Structure formats: C-alpha cells, structure tokens
Structure 1
Amino acid sequence: MNGRLDRAEIVIVGNGIAGITAALEARRLAPEKRIVVITSQLHPPIHTPALKQFACARLEREQLLVHPAGIERQQRIHVITSRVEEIQAQSQYLLLSGNRPFHYGKLLLATGSVPQGLPETLPGQHFDGVLTLHRLRDYLDLRRRLPTVQEAVVIGGGAHAVETVMTLLYWGIRTHWLLRGEYPLSRQLDAQGGALVRETLHRAGAIIHQGIEVVDIVGRIGVVVGVITNQRKMIPCQLVLVCTGSRPAIELSERCSMPLCRQHGILVDDLLRTNVPNIFAAGDVAAIRDPQTNRYAPRAQWYAAGEQGRIAGAMLADRPDLTRPPLGVSWHATHLGELSLLIAGNPHLQYPGIETLTDASQGGYRRLALFEDRLIGYLSLGHIQPDSLAIKRLIEEGHSVRPILKALLKGDVDAHHYFARLQAPPVQALPLINSQPERQRLPITGKLALTPEQLPLLAGSSPTGPSPKVPAGSSAYSHHTLWSYLEQKERP
C-alpha cells in the first residue's frame, strides 16, 4: 500500500452531524483505537439547519461549522477524501475509488440523504438557473445569483420549501410558490393547519399557485426564463428552486456483499445495529422503528441525527453499557416564517379508542391525539412554541394529561410545574426514555409484534449470519405497539 493507511478499528462513512458526532464520541470512549472517517464531501461538517440563515446573509460560511476547524486532527481522527465503491462484509473491508481496499473492525454508515429533485423526464431541468437546494454548494450558488434575480419559482410543499419562499421574500424577490395540492406540508399537517401556513405566506407576499405542477422549463441560450404549468400557463422567472424533499442515500448499502435489510432506509435496532455483523447505520440513512406504530422510517432531523451519532459512537467503541436510552417517539420543531411548528408522536393517528382534539385560537392551531387520557400525538402551529422535549416526555412516560389538557390545547402548558407536581426530576435531567422494563412508562407493555420482514433483523438472526444479542431489558424488545394493542382490542 506504499505506506498508506489501509485499516482502522473504527471506520465511518460520511462526515455529516451523525458521522462526526459518532467519531468524537468513539474517540472519547476509546482513546487508543484508530478512527477513520471516509467522505467525498470537500468541506468540514456544517450546521445544515443554519443554511437558511446563510441564504439570508445573516451568517457567513465560517459560522456554519459544527466544530472548530481542525478538530479531527486535534482528536486524532483521520479523514480520507474518497468514494466508497462497495462493502465486502465477510472480509470486513471497503473498496474505495481507485480500487483501494480499506479494512475495518466496525463500520458505521452515515451517508445521509440525497435530494429527490425533479423527474428525469422533465424538459429543461438542466438550464442554468434551475437549482436543487440540498447541500452547501447549492446555497453558495444561490447566494451568488440572488442580486440579479427579480422573479423566482419555488417547487415543493414541505418545510424546506416554506423556508426557501421566506428567504426569497426577505430579498424582495417576486416569488411564485407552486403547490401540487391545496395546502403545504400535507404529510405533517391536516387541512386546517396547512391552510394556516398557506395564508401566512400569502400575507408575507408569496404568490401561491395551488394544484399546480411544472410540465416544462423554458430557457433562452441555456438560461432559464420561465416554467410552464399543467394549466398551460407560463410563469416568467430567472430562478427555479427545487425543494421536493430528500431520500436516504442507500446506494452504498446496495453494494454490500451481505445484503443489508432496507425499508425506507437501512433497518437498524435501538442500538443502530444492522442485520450484518459489525455494521451500524445512523442519521438520515437509518430507518428506526416508531415505538407507537412499529413502522420504520428515518428520523431526518438534526437533533435526532446527533443523538444517533452518540449512540453509534458508544457502540463503535465497544461500550454498549454507555449508550443513551432509545430515541423514543419522533418529534420535530422548526420555524415556518413567523410560525413555530412542533410535531411530537403521532397526532394524526386515527383508530377506535383514539380521541382527537383541536384548537384554533390565538392565531394558531393545536391538534392532540389521546388514548385513555394519555397523549400519543401533539401538533402545535403558531406564535407560541411549547417546550418540545417536555411534550415528547409526556408522550413517552404516559402520564394522564387531563389536568393540563386545556393548557396543551392553548399551547401554553407549564411542563416544569406539571412534572414538579408529579415529583419527577426536571425535564433536562431525564433521559429521552427509560430503558429499564420495571420503570418503563410507555403506554402499553407486552410482547413485540414483528412482520416477517423485520424478524431477521430484530430477532438477532438473519440468512447471512447471527447479529449481536440484544441486552436484556432493551425497550425495543419489551414493549408492545399501540397499533397492535388497538387491533387486538377490537377482536371479539
């Protein structure tokens, strides 16, 4: 190998927030191990949620860095800039670009996500001025173009699209927002909540086109000059910004010699282990089980990726005893212009026995899902944002929320006072979820229900070989799902 580094006890593919957090945690717990991060990214890890602030010129590039420059060298973490072509799991080595083998003891896949983009068959998508916003280089390109743009089109209906519309309005650009449906964030909000977001952006100055899709992008001498919609209308513009969501970057997992189980991402257990020995996954690429519905999906949020990085770091360092408790129910908090959005648990879950309450006072909107006086889902949209981690804890510990139901509906619940009355420790001092079965406060306990596809992964065995045993008492294997419980309750 001509003196080149060709092996390490710990190898991490990807240097986003999950990858770098795992590397630093592993270094803290295993100071003697060699740690290598392999990435094709040409810059250090950045704080991706802050890119919208960067687009508004409120932050400069240096302020986007997650850690001070050079922290990898300071912590003796080797960074190799290369592309991983395949994984030879039986022999435990990667094949890098240039046909370079690299051996690993434990491997973490933290490859993140890739943008959905536009349909490949859409004409004109490669004209200059058509940008898919996803990474730093896309926002650098956007910043350079903004001074010359008078009119722009934003395609997409999610939170990313909302933030992009607000960025353009901030720069005084006439902005057309194209929505495929009647309201934005249709996967997170119901019609009432979506209408509130739509009207907020309309008042801010956005020109909103509902039920519209782009069928052609028009250019002149290679530069975009407008889009044509499915209603045969042309919208002139100098910039088209594509914010159509992202998907897990699972391409490397498809080139593994031992098949990795995938379902909306790479399937992992609560300790982020895949079905292949010594291979872990974390961040946007990892599909994690929702303890309420038993469905697997990525937790594509910054906070969740950081938490997964810490769990993965402990596992890579052979310190499962120091892993944090399971991630618990999903939650997401963000700002949509002047509105704050919080979603915790499953506020849209509908089934006999689940009670749904809504409130649209104080210029906002709240939606609660209750099961036998216990909160199982919460949505808050408005100018007041409740304590998101406190709401998450309310769902996971299963306390009756009847005493604070009115405050929850109004969005002004005092969680600290409520937990103090329960003689519980402060919210910040509690783990996300208690993994000890005798103290577990999730709503339902019992035997975990698994689909045939999930059995090889979660039962600790697979056609390709055994997976590590799960520690006794792990909540991933000891609590029933609410969905399964309700189904059984309906049986005669």
Structure 2
Amino acid sequence: MRRYVSPYVVRILNGAMPGGNPQKMTVSKGVLCMSNRAMSVMNGQYKTESADIVIVGNGIAGLTAAVEARRLAPGARIAIISEQCHPTINTPALKQFAIGKLAQEQLLAYPAGTERAQRIHAINARVESINAQGKYVCLSGGQGFGYGSLLIATGSAPNGLPLNLPGRDFDGVLTLHCLQDYLNLRRRLDEVDSAVVVGGGAHAIETVMCLLHYGIEVHWLIRNETFLSKMLDDEASELILENMRNVGTKVYTGTELVGIVGRVGSVAGVVTTRQNMIPCQLVLMCTGTSPVTTLAEQCDMPMLHERGILVDDQFRTSVRDIYAAGDVAARKNPQTGVYETHAQWYDAVLQGRTVAALMTGHHKLASSSLGVSWHATHLGALYMLTVGDPLSMLEGTTILKHSTKKKYRRMSLVDDRLVGYLSLGTMQPDSLAIKRIIDEGLSIRAVKDVLLKGDFDARKYFSQSRSRAARDMVTSGKIPVVNPLVSSLPVTDRIVRAYTQCITPGGAMLSLPAPTTSRRPQTEPLHEPMPAHTLSSIDSQLTIHEWEEELLPSLSPSPIDNQLTIHEWEDELRPSTDKLPVNSKKVVESILVALPSRPASRNLWSYSRKLPAIVARSSSAQRPTPAKAEKASCHERGDRANFLL
C-alpha cells in the first residue's frame, strides 16, 4: 500500500531542522514509524518525532490537559515535554508535607504511572524555542518535535533574592517553591532555633505558621506597611498581623533585607533597612513568583506577552494552534479588562480541562467562562477568603463592612450585584457559592445582610432563585432567554493533526502575518475573525493522512478513563495550621503499595531504570491460564511501585 508523507516531513529529511545536514535527500531514504505514542521519522542521524497534542510542562495544568485530552480523544497522540524529573505533585500540599502531616508518597496529584496507563508520551528534555511556521519545538541538543496543537504550561519561577545582595549564597538561605526546596527545609528544621521569613503574601504567612509548629522563633519581614496589600485593606491586614503577633511571631512591616551575615559559610543573621541585625540560622525567601515566558520570547512569530503570555477566553495565544494555561497564562479580568495571571491550583485545573476540550475539538465542553478568581487559606485561628475584587474602585461601587474583634467582612457592590467579597473569621463561607453569585451577576438584595454577617445559606438562596424563575416563567408564559457565549474566532470540531499544512485553493501557502516588534499587552481580541469561505476552503484541505486514518483506533472510551480522575478540586486542599498535631515519632503509613528497598544513594523521586512494556490484550485463543495471569499481575504491580524509585 502506498504511504504519504506530509511536506513538513520532507523538509525535515532535507535538513531543515537545526543542526541538520543541508545536502539534498529523498523521501525514499527515510523510514516512517508509527506507534500509539508518537510518530517518528528516522533517516540516518535524524530521529524526529511528533504528536497531535504537545504539552510543555508537567505541572497540574499540563497533566490535567493531557489526561482530559486522552479521555476526549482516545486516538490522539499526546506528549508531555518537561525538565522535571519527578511526577506531578500537589503543590498546595507542600505546606502540610513540611509540617509532617503528609508522607512524600501522598504528594502525587495523580496515581503513580498515570502517563504510562493513559498512553501519554513523557519526554524529559528542555524546550529551547518554538518554530511556529514549521510547527515544531526545538529541544536541547538540536532535536525537534512536531506538533498539531501546542500547549505552553511552563508555570512560574520564584523571584528569589537580588543578585547583588551580600550573603545570598550562604548555606541556610532557601527560596521555597518546589519539592526539592521543601525537602531541603525539612532536613534543616531540627537544627534551627531562629529563622527569618521574607515576603508579604499568603505563601510567606503559611511558611511562618509552619516554623511556629516546630517551636522556632520567627522574624517576619514585610516590605509594605500592610499584609497582602493587593487583596486586603488596612483593617483586614491589621487583624491578621495582630493574630500572628499573638502566637509569637515578630512582625516587621516596611522592612527589607540589606544583607545576610555569615559565619564559616553559613547564615548567622540578617541586616535590615532599619539598621538592625537579627540573629538567625535560616533565611526563607517567599517573595512571590513570575511566569516563565521564555518560549514566548523564543518563538519565531510574535507571541504577545508581558507579565505572562496573553490569551483570550479560549486560552489561545496570538500564534495559531498555540495555547497557554496555568501560571504562565495572562487572561483578561472580566471586571477590569486588564490581563492578569492567576497562580492558583483551582484555576490551573479548570484551565487544563478547558484547553484539552478546545485542542480535541470539543468546544461545547469549554464554552463556559471561568469567571473571577478566588483564594482561600487557613491562617491559625482565622479563615481567609477573597472572591473577585474586594478592593474594587469601579465607578458606582458601594463598599459595605462588618467587623468585630475576631471577624471582618467587606463587600464591593455595583447596584445590587456583588463584584468582590472578603471574609476573615473562625468560620469560612461557601466560597464557590459566592463565586457563582459574582460570575452570574445575581442580585443579592435579599441576602445582603446575611452575606455581610457571615450567615449566608447558599442552598436556600439558590433554591429560592430557581423557584422564583419558575414562577415568573409560569405567570408570564415566556421561557427565559439564555444568551450564548460568542467566540471571537469560528471553530471547527476537529483535532489539529501534526504535520498538516494550510493550503489555499490556488495551491499557495496561507500567508502568515508579518512579524512585529510590539509585544505590549492589549485588551483587543487576540485572534481576528476569518471569513467563512476561507475557513471552509482551509478545512477542506486539512484532512488526516491515509496512514494516520488507518492506524487510529476506534474512538471508544477507555475503561481507565473512569478510574484515573483528578482529585476533587472543589475541596481544594488548604494548609491547616490551627490545631496542629504534636510532632511524634509515629511513622505515617503510605496509601500506596509498599516500596521495595533501594540503596541510600538513590533519590526517592527518580524514575526506575526499568519500565514495564505495554502488552496488547491477548485474544481468547491466546489468553493465559489463571496461574500465569496472577503471576503477570503481581509483576505489573511491582513495576508500578517502582515508578517512584
């Protein structure tokens, strides 16, 4: 049977890839290989792979998108490229891991071996740049990897210390961000009597509570005069800081580091802008994060970015077939019209699911807006919740406040609609219910007082709203009109396959926009609508190659799709630092299969050298005996356990 190779593959075989041989080659010299993971083209020294969906980064947004894409498109080729050498972990749980409430194995965001079970090709490599015109990414070492749709989920990086700060390299100066940082912290806690925490955000205060749990004296340096100045007003900030002082924290507002003092290479203290020296053995930096936009800068076509990669409501960047999600994506705030990033676990999960639906052509599943952001955490005896923009200064905004000695609430309203909500107290309100009220623009005229006092009953409120809507429909005889969501770009229900080219009816390549030097954020749509006749002509040419169509399995749901689901993100894991358990020598039992012993020199989180082979299900004539099946099952379980070793 005759095989067809796309023009992109021809360019690869002719040496178009970085570091390739420019001499002329013919397609007949190449060998085309296909598997259920990725397609490979091998020609002498070349080995170039591709996938229909390529995801850069294996954080929660990237892995959620991969798993959801597999569920929606069982026949698609999916690949994740990441420098991270361990499975995806539940980053909000790192605070509980630091105080010993969770074992290391319990940090996994998905069950061990999810990528292998879901036929997701995991590649441990660094992506250096993007060739959007050729639709491939350049890996370290000069290799390339083609894509049909590309998702950038590179996350964020810690801000850390200034490069010119004296003493920043002393032993005992840590920046808390990833798993390795928290492992390093846990090894040092038994030797520390006094520590300095630098930062004025939620991460900093959670770190302070972690150190207090171990009985360590904590000095907390905040650059601003208030805590969380972008989310809290002065009254809320003072309530939290006073609560922290009452539990033994020494708080320094309006204070920054000038330098770090050391003794024989280790931290001995810090010097502040108030010209005082604080003795300590540990300095922890919790000064926030910044999105990693390197790939936007290293793309051959202009990709709009500033503080994050700019995306529209469907998480599309300014470059065709390239999406961004997670901490790196800057989405327009529906209330202010400003592009903002949201480094929140809840948002990252929703974004991963939405992007997966879009990349697989299931646009109806991704039609709903994600709405406003929200943040909830537990700070000792206080619960903190912010939804929307509680500090909103929009025209016509009314501010309502209610405060007692241990409670504080603030609501921002425009007419009778809620646009921002802030709550501090011993009880936490229903966060998702309040978010729904803001997202749907519901009237709170009847529940304004109970919301302000913290006695809001969400179930009763929404039940009455449904009853009222039904009564109005019966009395008026009219069905309520639902306004459909409008997309800025017409979409088609298909997966963008790798190595396809956009050909106009005349046979010429579809012209690409000229590169521009402007990268400033804008609030206009990132994609201009295309004429309907152009889309139809393009779609008629974008067909799956014969060899792809022949090898694609039937689009039937896999049994494992019903088993490997994301944790219940509605019950987001929040650090609990109120009634912390007494530190004991009791061993925390793991919820996973017992791990075999390994030499102490190996890292617990490195992958096993030996990966189990994926064996196709045997037919009834070749089905093994029950004894052999049981032996094979035991061997398979052992290989799964080795995934963490």
Alignment match, 2:208: 165
Q: Give the Å deviation of 1:93.
A: 0.5
Distance 1:236 1:441, change over 3 A: farther
CA 40–49 in structure 1, closer or farther in 2 if over 3 Å, else same: same
Question: Aligned pair in 2 of structure 1 residues 358, 137: CA closer, same or farther (>3 Å)?
Answer: same
Q: Which runs of 4+ in 1 moved over 6 A?
A: none
Matched, 1:109 2:152: yes
Partner amino acid for 2:154?
A: T
Shift of 1:184: 1.2
What's the offset of the Cα at 1:336? Answer: 2.1
> How far did 1:440 drift?
5.0
Paired position in structure 2 for 1:398:
441
Counterpart contact for 2:337–2:523, Cα < 8 Å: no
What fraction of aligned residue pairs are identical, expressed as a percent?
54
2:228 is paired with a residue whose SS is: coil
Match of 1:200 among 227, 238, 243: 243
**What whole-Å deviation, never above 9, does each CA across 1:444-464 have from its counterpart, x for those lacking one?**
x9x9xxx98333615448xxx
Deviations 1:80-103 (A, max 9, x none): 000000000000001101111111
CA distance in 1, matches of 2:378, 2:144: 44
The answer (yes or no) to whether the contact 1:342–1:385 under 8 Å persists in 2 is: yes
CA contact (8 A) 1:159 1:336 kept: no
Partners of 1:99 and 1:75 in 2: how far apart? 28
**Aligned partners of 2:522 and 2:481: how far apart in 1?**
29
d(CA) in 2 for partners of 1:144 and 1:17?
26
Quote the residue 2:221 is aligned against.
178
Offset from partner CA, 1:373-421 (integer Å, 9 cap, x none)? 1111111111111111100111122222121111111122001101101
Size of the aligned set, in residue pairs, is 447
Deviations along 1:21-65, whole A, 9 cap, x unmatched?
000010001111110000001110000000000000111111000
- Pick aligned residue for 1:384 from 427, 430, 445: 427
Structure 1 counterpart of 2:523, which letter? Q
Give the superposition deviation at 1:124: 0.8
Q: Normalising by the residue count of structure 1, what TM-score does the alignment of the two structures yield?
A: 0.87
Q: Supply the distance in 1 between the matched residues of 2:127 and 2:117 (Cα, whole angstroms).
A: 25
Matches within 5 A, 1:320-335: 320-335=363-378
CA distance in 1, matches of 2:443, 2:451: 12
Question: How do 1:214-363 residues align onto structure 2 when only pairs under 5 Å count?
Answer: 214-361=257-404, 363=406
- CA RMSD, 1 decimal: 2.3
Tell me which structure has the larger Cα radius of gyration.
Answer: 2
Q: CA deviation at 1:5?
A: 6.2
Question: Which stretch shows the higher mean deviation, 155-164 or 198-207?
Answer: 198-207
What is the CA–CA distance in structure 2 between the aligned matches of 1:49 and 1:424, rounded to whole Å?
Answer: 38
Bigger relative CO (Cα 8 Å, ≥ 6 apart): 2
Change (3 A) 1:362 1:324: farther
Q: Which amino acid aligns with 2:79?
A: V
Note closer, same or farther for the CA distance 1:44–1:219 as it changes in structure 2 (3 Å cut).
same
Structure 1: gaps (5+ residues): 426-436, 470-492
Matches of 2:254 and 2:309, distance apart in 1: 33
Equivalent AA in structure 2 for residue 38 of structure 1: I
Q: Distance in 2 between matches of 1:353 and 1:313?
A: 39
The residue type paired with residue 296 of structure 2 is S
- Please give the secondary structure, in 2, of the residue aligned with 1:274: coil
> Which residue of 522, 537, 542 corresponds with 1:453?
522
What one-letter code is carried by the residue in structure 1 that aligns with 2:67?
A: L
Once residues 121 and 3 of structure 1 are traced to their aligned partners in structure 2, the CA distance between those partners, rounded to angstroms, is: 44
Q: What amino acid is aligned across from residue 101 of structure 2 in structure 1? A: R
Unaligned runs of 5+ in 2: 1-41, 469-479, 489-519, 539-645
**Structure-1 residue corresponding to 2:191:** 148
Taking structure 2 as the reference length, what is the TM-score of the superposition?
0.67
8 Å contact 1:386–1:411 — kept in the other structure? yes
Aligned to 2:108: 65
CA distance in 2, matches of 1:351, 1:280: 31
Please give the alpha-carbon distance, in whole angstroms, between the structure 2 residues aligned to 1:353 and 1:278: 40
Q: Which residue is 1:374 aligned to?
A: 417
The answer for the alignment partner of 1:121 in structure 2 is 164
Q: Take 1:133 and 1:99, find their aligned partners in 2: how far apart are those partners?
A: 33
Give the CA deviation at 1:300. 1.1
Aligned in 2, Cα 1:179/1:452: closer, same or farther, shift over 3 Å? closer
Q: CA deviation at 1:107?
A: 0.2
Letter matched to residue 359 of structure 1: H
CA contact (8 A) 1:347 1:367 kept: yes
Q: Which moved more, 1:391-400 or 1:148-157?
A: 391-400
Deviation at 1:142, TM superposition (A): 0.3
Q: CA deviation at 1:222?
A: 1.2
Of the structure 1 ranges 415-424 and 48-57, higher mean CA displacement relative to structure 2 is found in: 415-424
**Aligned partners of 1:441, 1:107: CA distance in 2, in Å?**
28
Q: 2:389·2:419 contact (CA, 8 Å) conserved in 1? A: yes
